[in-house]
Each structure stands twice: as C-alpha cells, then as structure tokens.
Structure 1
Amino acid sequence: MSVLSRCSEPRVERGGFGWLLRAEWVKFRTVRGWVVTMAAAASVIVLLGLLSASGDHASCGSGSVEVVCPSPLVGPGGEAVDDKFFFVRRSLVGDGGITVRLVSMTGQIRKPDVTPGQRNVVSGVVPWAKAGVMIKESVRQGSVYAAVMMTGEHGVRMQHNFTHDVAGRPGGVSRRSPRWLRLTRVGDTLTGDESVDGVRWVQVGTVTLTGLPRTVQIGMFATSPGDLTVTQGDLGGSVAAARFTEVTGEFDRVELRGDVSGVWRDDDVGVTVAPDGSAHHPGRAGRSGGAFSVTGVGDIAPAVEGPTSERPLGGALVGLILVIVVAVMFVTAEYRHGLIRVTLLAGPCRGRMLAAKALVLGLVTFAVALPAVAVAFTVGGWILRGNGNAVLPVSPLTQVRIVVGMAALFALAAVLSLALGALLRRSVAAVVAAVAVIVVPHVLATTSVLPDGAAQWLLRLTPAAGFAAQQSIPQYAHVLGHYAPIAGFYPLPPWAGLVVLAGYTVLAFGVAVLRLRRRDA
C-alpha cells in the first residue's frame, strides 16, 4: 500500500489519528524536561503575579493623613463609573417630562502655566463637555438615569446608565442657533428628542430603564471632564495629563409636564470635599425669571483610569517564553536525535502527524495555563485590593473571558512555535523567531519605547495582537481617554486579537506541513 493511500484512509490500526495522538502524548509526558518546564511555566505565572500584587500598595491623602482609597464607584451594570455633575432638579411622580431651550455653552480650561505663579485659564469647551436634561433615579452617585444633552464637539447625544450613548444631529449651540431638548417618561420608557426651533422635533433615542422608581428627579445638568493632553516622551512612549475644565449651560423656555412637586433644588453631585470641609472646584447655578444658568465640573461616564484586574498577569510573559521553548523542542528534538524518521514510518501521513503534535501540545498548554492564569488573576486581585488599590471592577463574564482568553493565547502561541520549529528545524533559531514575533512586539508596544501610533499598529499586525485577550476595561467612544498600549488598551477587541494570532498560527502550520511533505526527514 502506498503512503498516499494509507494517508487517505480515515483510520488504520497503526497510523490512524487517534493512535498518533496517543503516541504524541506518550512522547510528551515521558520527557521529564518538558513536563518540568511546563510546570515551571505555570509556577512562574502564579508566583510572579502574586509577587507583583504583593508589592503594589496604594493609599490616599486626606490632608496630612494617609487613608485607605475609596472603592471605585459602581454603576447599574457593575462597571466602574464617574458620576459628578451639577443638577438643578425637582421631583417627578409617574409619567411626565421636561423641555428646555439651550441657548449657549461656554466654559473654562486650565492650561499649563506660562508664567510661574500665574494661572493660565482660557475660555473654551472640551469636546465631551455636556449640558442638557436628565431624569435620574436619585441624586445618589451611580444610580440609574437617562439624559439628552448637547456636547462640546459631538452634537446632541442621548446617554443612559453611563455606558450607553446614541448620537443625535451634529452641530453646536449659540444664542443665534439655540437647540431644544426634550426628555419624556412613560412608565419605564424614556424618549429623547431634539429640535432647532421647538416645533419640528427629531427623536434621538428611546431606552427602557428597568426598575425605575415611581418618583424620580428631573431637571437640567452640566458637567465637563478634564482636558486631556498627550505628550510624546524624548525616548518614545507618551504621557497623558488631564487638567481642570468647567462648562456653563444657559437654559430658558423650561417646561415641565406631569406630577412635579417641590421647588427647584441645586445639587453638586459627587463634588470633592477638602479636609477642611470646603468643596473643591464646586459647580453652581443661577436663575433669573424663567432662565437658568448651570455650571458643572466632572463627568457622567464609565471610568477608564485606575488599577485594572489584569495587572497580576504581568508574569505571563516569562511563563510564555518557557512554553515556547517546550513547544519548539517538541519537534526539533526529533530532528536533532534522528527520531523523526521513526515517527514518519509509524505515521507516514506527515500532515496528520504534525497535526497530532499540534493538538497534543495545544491541549496540554491550555490545561497548564488555565489554572495558573486563574490563580494569578483571582488571588492577585484579592491581594491588590487588600493593599488598598481601587481596582476597577469587571463583570464575572469578563473575568472568565480574560482567564480563558489568556489560556487560549498560550495554546495558540505554543502551536505557532511548534510550526516554526518544524520549519526551521533548529531549536535556537525557532525559539528566537517565536519570541521575536510573539513576545518582543508586545514588550515594545507596552513600554516607553515607541510612539502610540506605532505601538498600536504593532499590536494589530503581529501575533502579539493576541495579548488583547487580557484587556478588562473596553474603550468607550463617548469617553475621552488615553487609549494606548502603554496605558493597557489594545487597538483590537479581545477576541479579534486572538483571531489575528490564530491566523498566524494557521498560516505557519500550513507552511510547515507543505515543507514537511516536500522535504526529506
């Protein structure tokens, strides 16, 4: 029987895929060095992660006294949020709504001082400054809300519960070109509309806020996030800084509908209180007849800055290098000792033999990496929080995705390294090549070496894109942030990054199979 006919059979007594899997597994587990190195890789992931978390302490100042940092504010969906704004409100019972005309948005931005000792404050409004109308469960930070607003440079928006954002019509606002905003409640459904003349209305969006109480707070608000500036370092990398800003919205033609009770009340929601009891950068409001002026500082949005839950996974790089060494040796050792001829005689279908090696290696790596990553991630997170770090919370589903995704990264990287070993047939050359295409791009992109743009492209186009699997906090289009690899943000979504790594793995494996079929052992 020819080699070709034997390869085309689904199973043979000696040479079928099941038999090959068993043979490759026996090879792997009987080489003590490979087993020990895999165990060492798992230990490194755990020990370096826990060591890093143990040395990471944080505290916050309250005057001259250091206190434990407060836990991150949590929104309705369990995510970390910012909820700081000035609110001019009344109570609404049941259905109803509010209509206003916004006639202007003005503000101030603190810029770097030009003259020492002289504050450099300029007029202006940052892109995501907000002024508009809101219906909120209560003035408690993090509570359920929906709002229709005008922004500094992104037109009209309807946002709710911090993470959700719907765009209305673009444009700005001025006394010559005011914008009308309307927010209506019917049961748990809130509808946002906008108009340029108060006659012809365009719906911005509709949301359902489950569990919204019968009595809610309704009114006008203003808030303004910091002015973010990113500067490039002399040796590469970047440094981000946010400076104080505020925005003032001028409202008139205020109309309330429904069972509205009480008088207008002013609330500086989330204002920072200094040790002496005074408000730090407080908001304010004024009214004259039917016109209102509302000035606010802060933001109503997801929080994207702070310690993240994937921080204890820093030891994964060292563990991955050990896995790469084992993966390469799993195939190159047979060439070095001349055993590859025996392997090919036992399973003459070369592609099937290499596939069996890859499957065994991938499953073993996944099985080793999964518990190691889970322990480092979970226990390391407990240690970080115990050391006073205000770690940004993520959902249980996100936690599972990070752990499973990182284990998948290890498995894919191992198979890619195996393919490089089969192509190069030299252990040192294959290990160097695997480290160069998987580990080095990640190190260059996440340290102060490359400009942000170059770092992002590196993590889009190389196998290191797979490291996006560990990102816990997503990028939000309606939140201005330093979304760069050096700050822990990857240019691709987690699973897209793994797809890029998987694509390189499949390509390298396919080339390795072709070369194996065309070359002598």
Structure 2
Amino acid sequence: MSAAFSRPRAGGGGFGQLLRAEWIKFKSVRGWVAAMAAAALVAVLLGVLSASGDHASCSSGPVEVACPPPVVGPGGEAVDDKFYFVHRPLAGDGGITVRLTSMTGQIRKPDVTPGQRNVVAGVVPWAKAGVMIKESVEQGSAYAAVMMTGEHGVRMQHNFTHDVAGRPGGVSRESPRWLRLTRSGDILTGYESADGTTWTQIGTATLAGLPQTVQIGMFATSPGDLTVTRGDVGGSVAAVRFTEATGEFDQVDLQGDASGAWRDDDIGVTVAPDGSEHHPGRAGQSGGVFSVTGVGDIAPTIEGPTPERPLSSALTGLILVIVVAVMFITAEYRHGLIRTTLLAGPRRGRTLAAKALVLGVVTFAVALPATAITFTVGGRILRDNGNAVLPVSLLTQVRVVVGMAALFALAGVLALALGALLRRSVAAVVTAIALIVVPHVIATTSVLPDSAAQWLLRLTPAAGFAVRQSIPQYAHVLGHYAPIAGFYPLSPWAGLAVPAGYIALILGLAVLRLRRRDA
C-alpha cells in the first residue's frame, strides 16, 4: 500500500493545526481511505452472510416449524417461567404464611452403565420451593416469591431479575422454615421465621400495575443440573440434565379475600406433539399438608442466540483497520518524512497524540455505521431464519453498536502506537494482531480451559470484546459463564478500559523513543 502525501509546513502551530495536518495527510492517501472503507464493507458482508447461513427450526411431530419466541418478563428480558403452582385468587390486599418442613428432589447424573438411567436423590443449588403472589398464570407475568433454595438459603425474588438473600442454611422436619409474603397495593413484602413467632423482613418489591385480583399460593421448581467437563481437544463441554424438587408445606394460612378452591397449574410445562406432558410436575394434599413438585426455573434465560451474533465476523475488518493504522505512522519512517512532521510539530507527544486522535475518530466514524448495519440487518435475518433471538433493551443495543465501534477505534490507535514504537510495519501489524485478535480467537474456541480463557480476556487488549456481550451474568442463575459460551470475565466498559490502558502505556513508550531519536 503506497503512501504519497503533502508535507506539512514547518512551525510550531497549535494542536488544531496538527489535527488538520494529520487529517489532510490521511485522506490524501487513497489506499488508506479505500482500506478503511473495505474494512467496513467486509465487516458488514461477513456479518450478513453469517446470519444468512444460520437457520433454526423446531419439530412438531414430523413437521418442522419456526421456533417460538422466548417468553419475555416485565422488564423485557427473556425468561424461564416454568414451575408447579398451587394457588387461589386473591382480591385486594392479603398474604400467605406457610411452614416448609422439607425440600427433596431427584437429579439425573451421567449414566454409569449404558442404557441405564442414573438418578440420585438430592436438589440442585437453585432448586426452589416457597410462596408466591403472581399477576396471573401467564408465563412472564409479574410476581414476587419467598422461597427456600437448594444451597443458597432463603431468598426473596421478584420479576425474574431481582434477588435478595435471607438467612442461609437448609430445611428439615427437625428444623423447618416459616415463609410469609404479603400484599398491600403494589407493595409486596417477604418475611421468614425459624419458629413462626419471631419474623424477619427479607425485602420488598414494588410491582406497579398489579390487577385487583392476583394469584397466591405455593410453588416448586428445579433448574437442570449443569456439569462442565473438559473437551477431547481442549476447552469445555457443558451439559444440563433433568432435575425436580418437592416442597412439603403445612400450617398454610391465607390472609385477605382468597376464597375458592385450590387450583393446580403446571406453568410452562412442555407438551409433546401427541399432547402428553414432558416431565410434568404434580401436587398432593392430605390433612392440611401440601406436597408440591416442580420442574424448570423462574429466572432470566441465558440460553439461545444473542443479538450480537452477526458481529462475530468483524475480526477480518478489524485486521484491515490494524494494517491501515500501522501504515499511517510507519509510512513516514519508510519515506523519510518523520523529521518533516516533527519539524511542523516539535512537541513529540502532541504530534503523536494528534495522529492518534485523527486515526481514532476516522476509525470510529467508519466503524459505527458498519456495526449498526451488521447488528440491525443481521439480527433481522436471524429472526427471519427461525432463530429465537434473545431480546435486549434499546439501551443495550446502542451500547453494543457504539461499543464495538469504539473497540475498532481503540484497536486502530493501539496498532498506531505499536507502529510508532517499533517503526516497522510487519512487526507492528503482527504484534497488534497477536495482542488483540489472537487472544480472542483462542479464548472463545475449544482450545483453553475456561479459567485460562478468562484470564486471557482480562489481561490482553482482547478484553475489549466484552463490550459486545448483551446478556449479563446473573448471580442467581446457574450457567456456563465462560468465553466459549459468549460470556466475558469483565464488564463491557471495564473491558474497553484494558486496551485503553495498553494505548496509554505504548504511546508513552513511543513518545520517549521519539524524544531520544527521530528516526
């Protein structure tokens, strides 16, 4: 890629003049401009092509049908809302108090003998049994619940994403737990007690817009048992197997207008094409004692195609940006123009900062529409191809698009800084790719153990890719939170701070070298 640009006039001009000179220099080289445009075009085309080849369908007996959209909670996020519910209608204010005397279950483990199911007694850490007030029996409707969990003690949760811890410990017939949930208008309050006499408030939830009549009762549910093992060629393999949980309740006391008979509902149960229910829950009542068994979870879902998936093809465009960024500085050394540039801006740090700022702004301006088009068009294609893409908020969508453009800009500036430090095009390009692209590829494929991949994405500039993660990690949702599954160890903006730190360090070293020797 040849470079031929006008030499800046000598003089100590202000920073604005330095910026103008660097901008003129950049746009005067058609190869650089064309390469930047090609980087944007490649990112868009590869993203759209990737989405076009990604099809999904679900079976309804012998017929393939489009997969249903995910259930959406009150906050707009995709949720799992599958549990067994024994309930009555509650008109107006009121509450429910119960004593939970036991919590048991079954877990299917990997088969030891081929063809023989390996089912053991026990409950998974986030199995749940307790009391709930829910807007309706529709999946995704607003709710609040006080519950006992498998290993996380008593919790109060509401609207899927909110979780407040109560007392730790377990439950047994020798050491039962009393749970209480009350409603006063839109305010729901959860309590717990060890003896049914002294009560401790766990938390409150405001569920705006609750109807006059809601559903109140007892529930149980149990998410799958997650096991993560090493793959045959490195990396990790996650598997989720069937579990169920059973809660035993007595001393059930309803407050308020909760008349009528108890009703059983298996919320969200999977129905086979022949009409049979797959792993149904169940309930029983005898002498004031209720037994409720459930399968599933009441929590945000993290499984499924994410909206940022089309952006995974952006690496090729990023490599082109790295090449242009390095050439923007090393071409001056190769053609012997660096002394002229420094004559026009004797203050080395300001001159290099002006060059970095111009490149960063140009890269961001080119990358922003490319990422926006790829994200929007690619996402639409994914949905048209039958993929049940997980919904995210508009703010998250904007953050992903703008953040990816910012990552492109930071990668370009980092490559330029390496070019200024090393002063050799090939060495700087290879180093930049080794620092930014290679760690991300290694960490997100089946090569490294999860822990090693996470450290790689903490310590290298590839940490910046965290900005494209749209589905957060939830402390109360057991999941395979690893790079291979699309989860990064740092938050989006903390991830971007890592390449920014590398830029500050390498630009500082480059300025020191410039002050010692121009060329």
Q: Would the TM-score normalized by the shorter structure come out above 0.5?
A: yes
Matched-pair contact (CA < 8 Å) for 1:182–1:192? yes
Matched-pair contact (CA < 8 Å) for 2:12–2:346? no
- C-alpha displacement of 1:45: 0.7
Q: What amino acid maps onto 1:443 in structure 2? A: V
Query: What is the rounded CA distance, in whole Å, between the counterparts of 2:81 and 2:313 in structure 1?
Result: 34
Q: What count of residue pairs does the alignment treat as equivalent?
A: 510
What residue ranges of structure 2 are gaps of 5+ in the alignment?
1-9
Superimposed CA distance per residue, residues 349-390 of structure 1 (whole angstroms, 9 cap, x where no aligned partner): 111110100000000000000000000000000000000000
User: Match of 2:231?
Assistant: 233
User: Match of 1:397?
Assistant: 395
User: Match of 1:244?
Assistant: 242
SS of residue matched to 1:180: strand
1:21 aligned residue (16, 19, 32): 19
SS of residue matched to 2:211: coil
Superimposed CA distance per residue, residues 45-92 of structure 1 (whole angstroms, 9 cap, x where no aligned partner): 100000000000000011221111000111001100000000000010
User: Match of 2:343?
Assistant: 345
User: Match of 2:407?
Assistant: 409
Query: What is the rounded CA distance, in whole Å, between the counterparts of 1:163 and 1:188 in structure 2?
Result: 18
Superimposed CA distance per residue, residues 171-190 of structure 1 (whole angstroms, 9 cap, x where no aligned partner): 00011110110001111101
Matched-pair contact (CA < 8 Å) for 1:15–1:348? no
Query: What is the rounded CA distance, in whole Å, between the counterparts of 2:259 and 2:11 in structure 1?
Result: 84
Superimposed CA distance per residue, residues 189-229 of structure 1 (whole angstroms, 9 cap, x where no aligned partner): 01001011111111111111111111000000000000000
Q: What amino acid maps onto 2:105 in structure 1? A: G
1:449 aligned residue (428, 443, 447): 447
Q: How does 1:185-196 map to 2 (within 5 A)?
A: 185-196=183-194
Query: What is the rounded CA distance, in whole Å, between the counterparts of 2:449 and 2:87 in structure 1?
Result: 46
Q: What amino acid maps onto 2:396 in structure 1? A: T
Query: What is the rounded CA distance, in whole Å, between the counterparts of 1:517 and 1:150 in structure 2?
Result: 66
SS of residue matched to 2:440: helix
1:142 paired with 2:140, answer yes
Query: What is the rounded CA distance, in whole Å, between the counterparts of 2:124 and 2:491 in structure 1?
Result: 27
Matched-pair contact (CA < 8 Å) for 1:88–1:265? yes
Q: How does 1:175-190 map to 2 (within 5 A)?
A: 175-190=173-188
- C-alpha displacement of 1:115: 2.1
Matched-pair contact (CA < 8 Å) for 2:226–2:241? yes
1:294 paired with 2:266, answer no
- C-alpha displacement of 1:117: 2.3
Q: How does 1:256-335 map to 2 (within 5 A)?
A: 256-335=254-333
1:110 paired with 2:108, answer yes
Query: What is the rounded CA distance, in whole Å, between the counterparts of 1:451 and 1:205 in structure 2?
Result: 39
Q: What amino acid maps onto 2:406 in structure 1? A: A
SS of residue matched to 2:487: coil
User: Match of 2:484?
Assistant: 486
- C-alpha displacement of 1:14: 5.0
Matched-pair contact (CA < 8 Å) for 1:182–1:193? yes
User: Match of 1:467?
Assistant: 465
Query: What is the rounded CA distance, in whole Å, between the counterparts of 2:300 and 2:63 in structure 1?
Result: 29
Q: How does 1:355-434 map to 2 (within 5 A)?
A: 355-434=353-432
- C-alpha displacement of 1:343: 0.5
SS of residue matched to 2:285: strand
Query: What is the rounded CA distance, in whole Å, between the counterparts of 1:509 and 1:469 in structure 2?
Result: 23
Matched-pair contact (CA < 8 Å) for 1:103–1:252? yes
SS of residue matched to 1:295: strand
Q: What amino acid maps onto 1:26 in structure 2? A: I
Query: What is the rounded CA distance, in whole Å, between the counterparts of 2:513 and 2:172 in structure 1?
Result: 68
- C-alpha displacement of 1:234: 2.2
Matched-pair contact (CA < 8 Å) for 1:226–1:242? yes
Query: What is the rounded CA distance, in whole Å, between the counterparts of 1:520 and 1:208 in structure 2?
Result: 65
TM-score normalised by the chain length of structure 2 = 0.97
Query: What is the rounded CA distance, in whole Å, between the counterparts of 1:314 and 1:406 in structure 2?
Result: 11
Query: What is the rounded CA distance, in whole Å, between the counterparts of 2:232 and 2:407 in structure 1?
Result: 33
Matched-pair contact (CA < 8 Å) for 1:146–1:190? yes
Q: What amino acid maps onto 1:421 in structure 2? A: G
SS of residue matched to 2:163: strand
SS of residue matched to 1:261: coil
User: Match of 1:169?
Assistant: 167
Deviates more, 1:371-380 or 1:105-114: 105-114
Matched-pair contact (CA < 8 Å) for 1:231–1:240? yes
Matched-pair contact (CA < 8 Å) for 2:223–2:296? yes
SS of residue matched to 1:229: strand
Matched-pair contact (CA < 8 Å) for 1:48–1:314? no
> Percent identity among equivalent residues?
83
Query: What is the rounded CA distance, in whole Å, between the counterparts of 2:513 and 2:99 in structure 1?
Result: 71
User: Match of 1:72?
Assistant: 70
- C-alpha displacement of 1:230: 0.6
Query: What is the rounded CA distance, in whole Å, between the counterparts of 1:261 and 1:370 in structure 2?
Result: 58
Q: What amino acid maps onto 1:169 in structure 2? A: R
Query: What is the rounded CA distance, in whole Å, between the counterparts of 1:353 and 1:368 in structure 2?
Result: 23
- C-alpha displacement of 1:420: 0.5
What residue ranges of structure 1 are gaps of 5+ in the alignment?
1-11
- C-alpha displacement of 1:16: 1.1
Query: What is the rounded CA distance, in whole Å, between the counterparts of 2:508 and 2:182 in structure 1?
Result: 59
Q: What amino acid maps onto 1:172 in structure 2? A: G
User: Match of 1:8?
Assistant: none
Q: What amino acid maps onto 1:85 in structure 2? A: F
SS of residue matched to 1:266: strand
- C-alpha displacement of 1:474: 0.3
